Structures are given as C-alpha cells and as structure tokens.
Structure 1
C-alpha cells in the first residue's frame, strides 16, 4: 500500500517550544521603532517600558498591589534573581517533575546551599503528591513543566492562609492557563513563550507579601548587582516603573508590545487561553485515533495545553528520521523532545499557533510515521 505524501502544508511550520511562533499576521514592519537608537532611560524609552508593564498587568487582570518588572536573562534570570533574593528565612518545599524544576532544586541545594529543603518530585509524565506542600514553608514550583508536558491542575494545593511564599515559574503558562494570582506571591515568565516574543528578557510579578519579604530580609550571601531588587532595605520601585536593572533591547520591547496589542485584539487573556486549549483539543482527537502516538502526561487533567509532549512507537533513531522528514519538507521545525526528557515529540500549542496549521500537520505526522516504519 502506497503512502501518499499529503498535499497541504501548515502555513507556519514553527512549532518550537521556545522561542515560539510569532502571532498570526506578524509583520516586523508594523512594530513601533521610535525607541531604537534612543536611551532606555529617555522619556520615550521609559514610556515604552512603562506601557509594556502597565499593559501586562491590565491584560492579566492582576490584583491591586501586584507589581510587574522587566528583568534580564529570560525566565531563568527572573527565577534566579527571585531565589537569590527571597529564599533563606524559611524551610523550602521544591516541587518538580521535569528538568527545569530539577534545575531549581539543584540551585537551591548546591548553589545557595540551603539545608532545610524538602524535594517533592515525580517522574516525567506525572505530578508529585502536592498535598505534601507545607504552608509554613516557602514553595518553589513550575506551573507547567515545559519539558514534560505536565501542568498543575489548579492552585488548590496552595493554602490561602500560608505563612511561606509561593514562587512559581510559569514561563509556558502565563497567557495560556488560568493563574490564581492571589495564591502566587512571585510569578516569573518570558514573553518568548506564549506570546511568541524575542528572547533575553524575563518578567517578574510580585505580590505585596513578596515585597514585604524583600524589604524585611537580607540574604547572607553576596548579591550580584543584576539580582538586586532592593536598596537600603526598600524595594527599588523604578524596576517596576520602567527603569530596568540593565539595558534592555528596545526592539524586543517593541515586539512584546505588538504581542500584547494582539492579545487585546483577539479578546484578551481569556481568548488567548481558549486558543491554546482549542489547539490541544486538535491533538487530543488525533492521539485518540492513532495507537502509535500517546501523551507523555498520564492524566488528562494535568496535560499541558502549550508544550504538548508525545510518546511515539519509534526508537530514537527512527524519531530522528521522523523529524528530519518533517523538517526537510518544511512541515514542522524543532519538535523533538527536550534533550533531558524521554525520547519523543514536543509540539507547541500556545495561542500564537493557528489551529489550521495543527490540522494541516496531522496527516504529515501519519505520513512520516509510515515512512520510517516501512
């Protein structure tokens, strides 16, 4: 039986899990480039940063008193800055079930060398027992495991009357999943994920409780300038008003603003979340109809709707052939599983990915599978 090559290709073959696909209709010529060549501390530069911060808070519907800051080094930089600044005065619960969360655990124990640390972990495809979280302790966790395709189902495991702080790496969740902001004292993300922005910048969102910790606690270790959020025991408010710690790329900021404007145009954060959920539904229908492919996430309720990780009935070499066929035909780029994750596929389903492109991709997945298993 012949395996006919599909005739329709995705209009956009970019299914990478970061940096992710640009928004539909993206045109770099549409960016406001008035800030280029100007100081980020000039009125025009600071106004652009302030607007990005203001629009982020407004679109995400953050509670009153929450602050948004733009920081260097993507989500990694944001998380490192927060852990170095806040951790220490209380025991720490660290929940992880994939490589990035495991990296935060390594930083906490091997770099900061904190001793009273409880690791609450699970293998790829599973969530750990989150009932083990102690509300007396600080909590560090990822909302969505980007390399495992497993997300927390909700924030119910976080106590409203907690004494510790919750520090959430939400880089592939913000703008694509419901975030219970009142449960989150610190949230970090990078706009290169769900919004398809350019790399190198991170965002931190602080609750009033997090600000209180920053102003009442001084870590015992040296603090690099690029990590410092306080001066003289007070929050550096300028960071949350557009005065960044280091020089940002104003081109990247203009690109981020374009993405924020697009979210507003499509109906706000709820529309962005719905687009991602609709994209996942396309893959769920496909997986249910094909025995050779399955979700790495074992439970549907904790299945990511952004970084969708898939197990395929192929060996590692066949998977390489599978992905090469798709890339050579310009059908799908960069969809291999993360290097530390189980062998398989990872297809980004965030809101900048068009449902029509996912539907066009599916026959190609079947074709490629049949080609490598002839």
Structure 2
C-alpha cells in the first residue's frame, strides 16, 4: 500500500477521517490531557470521559439543530444492532410497522424486524435496486407503529430526495451514510440513527436521536443494551461504552463545526458528487451509473466501467491502476460489483478532482468499441 500521507480513501466504511483529527488523536493517545494515560485506559465514569460524552451530545444537537424534545443516545451494536433495537423499542405500540425497502440495508432492517412483529412492505421489493417508487403508490398499513426507510443506501447508491409524508405516523430513518452531510429537519422524524464509521467517526458507536414520546414502551424481551428508554436514563453509559469511538467522534463533530457546520458539508457534498456524475455523463457511456437519475446518491456512487453492463476485466484493471496512484477502496460491494466511490465528509473536493482526472486518463488509454 502506498504512503498514508497521500492515500485517497474512497471506502464505504470504515471510511476516511479528517487528517487533522487523526493527528490530534495521535498526539493525545499516550497521555490524554497530560494525565499520563490514554483515553482507552480511563474509566467510562471518569470526569474526563463524562465530559467527552456530554460534549459529543451537545455537538450533535448543535449541528443538526435537534429540538429539546429529542434525546441523543450513543449505542453499541452497529447499524445491524439498531435494526433490532428499533423494532424492539417501537413495534410493540401496535405490533406492525411499514418498511420502504430500496436496497440492501433497508432490506436487512425489514428482515430483522420480522422477528418482533408484522412487517408491511410499502411496495414490492425490486429485483434490482436503483429506484424509489412514487410515494403515491405506497401501500401504508393504517395500524403501523412507524414507517422505516434508509435515507441513503450505502451498497446500492440510492438516496431519498425527500422525507416521506406519513400522515403523522412516526418516521424511523437510517442515516448512517448521510448524517452530517446535509441539513435535516429533525422534527419530521421519530427516530434518526447512524453508525459513526462513515461521516462522523470510527466504528463502534451508533448515534440515535429519538423523540421523547417514543420512549417507554419496549418489548419485554428487549435487552437492556438495546433499550432506548434505559440507555437514555443511563445517559448512554449503561455499561462500558466504546469510549475511544465516542472520543474520536466528538473530535470529528468539532471539526465539522470548525469547517462551517452541516451547511458547509452539504455544499461540498453537492460539488463533489456533481463533478463525478458530470464526468460520467461526458464519458459517452464509458462510465455508467445504474441508478435512476432522480434518486442518485451524493454519498455512495456506484458505476460500471466500459459500458452499461460493465467490463469486468477493464474494471479489474481500473482498480489496479487506481491503487498505483494511491486511490483505495474503490471496488464495488461484493453483491453489486463494479466500482463505488464513497464521498463522505472527510473526502475533499481535491480528492474527487484527482479521481476524475484519473478516470478521464484511463478512458483515453483503454478505449472500448461500442
């Protein structure tokens, strides 16, 4: 692998973190606040960690303008654990829930929820993700406890361009790949959650933002570590949390604030994705994105090389040549194939500029006969 100093990391998660944050973490790793010990050696009930926990919560609240009637939790178990936690905490209200399955992760969430109640699919699962049916055609269950969707499908490159209208039914939204990349009206949601390992930190912690009225009715079988009501009561320190992950996340959140907040991240996200999509559009179908144009992700961008169906030999060469230039983790998810560039907050416009420069040169050096 090439020099870490110059590596361009387009991984889908764990993903690139701001270098300034990593350098700060490095400088403090052996002795946090000159205490002579690392943060990973300190008690999770120490004043030092309690301050980190509080500051991280306050940063989330400030960046997303979270209303006072919402609580912020830091959970363990990753996104998959939260798939279960959502159902364990909320489906008990009526025994049923609506799920919009638009790709891999919403599909996994719906499957997990079937263990705890009835799941109603708002529309038939597509054979191949890449679109979102018009919400006027969605088949809502009038008894649903909540409506669940994934704002941005990391694997499939599908992103919701709107917040669904659910006529007052609480919305649960997985924002793992899009959290802190755009402005969000939190008041439209019952629950927002996101794994940190894409835009806001390392793996090991999940941010959950939950409206207070949705607390207090978990299933009796809900484990304490997944019980939103209990975790809220314990201020996210029911047991030993992932202290290092929360510590790094707090620094990333402060970095976002220093860079201009969510508004600045959204502006940069739009610029990065526009540059990459325009490069594909100008390639005369040499690079092709299989996702419907109106729901293409700004964050995770899958594409094929060498034509609409892709040329696997050419894609393998593309990845090989990219790594020679220190561009890493561009291989598409194993279930999809092709190429995928993930443009999270720490990926700069300069990084994407270098990627598209390589893409244009690669096309010139490796023409195909259409």
- TM-score, normalisation: structure 2: 0.86
Question: Which structure exhibits the higher relative contact order, with contacts defined as CA atoms closer than 8 Å and separated by 6 or more residues?
Answer: 1
CA separation of 1:236 and 1:347: change in aligned 2, threshold 3 A: closer
Contact 2:122/2:139 (<8 A) preserved: no
> Within 5 Å, which residues of 2 pair with 1:324-335?
324-327=320-323, 329-335=324-330
- Alignment counterpart, residue 193 of structure 1, candidates 172, 195, 198: 198
Alignment correspondent of 1:321: 317
CA separation of 1:280 and 1:116: change in aligned 2, threshold 3 A: closer
> Within 5 Å, which residues of 2 pair with 1:25-44?
25-26=20-21, 27=23, 28-31=25-28, 33-34=32-33, 35-44=39-48
Alignment correspondent of 2:262: 269
SS in 1 for 2:244: helix
- Single out whichever of 364-373 and 316-325 deviates more from structure 2: 364-373
Alignment correspondent of 1:89: 93
User: Where does the alignment leave 5 or more consecutive residues of structure 1 unmatched?
Assistant: 1-9
Q: 1:152 Cα deviation (Å)?
A: 0.9
- Alignment counterpart, residue 100 of structure 1, candidates 101, 105, 112: 105
Separation of aligned partners in 2, 1:297 and 1:31: 43
SS in 2 for 1:19: coil
Q: In the alignment, does 2:287 pair up with 1:293?
A: yes
Alignment correspondent of 1:227: 226
Q: 1:236 Cα deviation (Å)?
A: 4.8
Alignment correspondent of 2:11: 16
| Residues paired across the two proteins, number | 346
Separation of aligned partners in 1, 2:244 and 2:43: 12
Q: 1:60 Cα deviation (Å)?
A: 1.2
Alignment correspondent of 1:134: 140
User: Where does the alignment leave 5 or more consecutive residues of structure 2 unmatched?
Assistant: 34-38
Separation of aligned partners in 2, 1:250 and 1:372: 48
- Alignment counterpart, residue 169 of structure 1, candidates 160, 166, 174: 174
Contact 2:100/2:122 (<8 A) preserved: yes
Q: 1:193 Cα deviation (Å)?
A: 0.9
Alignment correspondent of 1:358: 352
Separation of aligned partners in 2, 1:158 and 1:84: 24
Separation of aligned partners in 1, 2:19 and 2:274: 19
- Alignment counterpart, residue 121 of structure 2, candidates 114, 118, 121: 118
Alignment correspondent of 2:271: 278
Q: 1:72 Cα deviation (Å)?
A: 0.5
1:228-279 CA distance string (max 9 Å, x none): 234xxxx55334x3x4233223222221121111111111111111111111
Q: 1:178 Cα deviation (Å)?
A: 3.0
1:10-43 CA distance string (max 9 Å, x none): 9441011111111153413355734332110122
